[in-house]
Structure 1
Amino acid sequence: MFDQLIAFFESVSPVWAALFAGIFTWSLTAIGAALVFVFRNPNKKLLDGMLGFTGGVMIAASFWSLLAPAINMSPGESFTKVLPSAIGFALGALFLFALDKLLPHLHLNHPVSKTEGVKTKTPWQKTTLLVLAITLHNIPEGLAVGVLFGGVAAGIPEATIAGALTLAIGIGLQNLPEGLAVSFPLRRAGMSKTKSFMYGQSSALVEPAAAVIGALAVGFFTPILPYALAFAAGAMIFVVIEEVVPETQQGDNSDIATLGFVGGFIVMMMLDVALG
Structure 2
Amino acid sequence: MFDSIVAYLSSIDPILAALYATLFTWFLTALGASVVFFFKTMNRAVLDGMLGFTGGVMVAASYWSLLAPAIEMSEGEGFIKVMPAAIGFILGAFFLFGLDKLLPHIHINFKETEGVKSPWQKTTLLVLAITLHNIPEGLAVGVLFGGVAAGIPEASIAGATILAIGIGIQNFPEGIAVSMPLRRMGMSRKKSFLYGQSSALVEPIAGVLGAVAVTFFTPILPYALAFAAGAMIFVVVEEVIPETQQDKHTDIATLGFIGGFVVMMSLDVALGS
Specify the TM-score bucket, using the shorter chain as the normaliser.
Answer: over 0.9
Answer yes or no: is the 8 Å Cα contact 2:110–2:122 preserved in 1. Answer: no
Deviation at 1:39, TM superposition (A): 2.0
Deviation at 1:118, TM superposition (A): 1.2
> 1:67-96: CA deviations, max 9, x gaps?
000000000000000000000000000000
The residue number in structure 2 matching 1:216 is 212
After superposition, where does 1:62-141 map in structure 2 within 5 Å? 62-111=62-111, 114-120=112-118, 123-141=119-137
Moved segments of 4+, more than 4 Å = none
CA distance in 2, matches of 1:102, 1:141: 20
CA distance in 2, matches of 1:56, 1:3: 25
Deviation at 1:40, TM superposition (A): 3.1
CA distance in 1, matches of 2:271, 2:265: 10
> 1:132-171: CA deviations, max 9, x gaps?
0000000000000000000011111111000000000000
Instruction: Give the TM-score normalised by structure 1.
Output: 0.97
The residue number in structure 1 matching 2:23 is 23
CA distance in 2, matches of 1:249, 1:151: 37
Q: Percent identity?
A: 76
The residue number in structure 1 matching 2:197 is 201
Three-state SS of the structure 2 residue aligned to 1:85 is: helix
CA distance in 1, matches of 2:261, 2:155: 21
After superposition, where does 1:228-267 map in structure 2 within 5 Å? 228-267=224-263
The residue number in structure 1 matching 2:179 is 183
**Structure 1 unaligned spans of 5+:** none
Of residues 131-140 and 32-41 in structure 1, the stretch that sits farther from structure 2 once superposed is 32-41
Deviation at 1:213, TM superposition (A): 0.4
Deviation at 1:257, TM superposition (A): 0.2
Three-state SS of the structure 2 residue aligned to 1:229 is: helix
**Structure 2 unaligned spans of 5+:** none
Instruction: Give the TM-score normalised by structure 2.
Output: 0.99
Q: Aligned residues, how many? A: 272
CA distance in 2, matches of 1:125, 1:250: 22
CA distance in 2, matches of 1:239, 1:4: 33
CA distance in 2, matches of 1:115, 1:49: 23
CA distance in 2, matches of 1:41, 1:92: 35
Three-state SS of the structure 2 residue aligned to 1:12 is: coil
After superposition, where does 1:151-190 map in structure 2 within 5 Å? 151-190=147-186
Deviation at 1:41, TM superposition (A): 2.2
The residue number in structure 1 matching 2:271 is 275
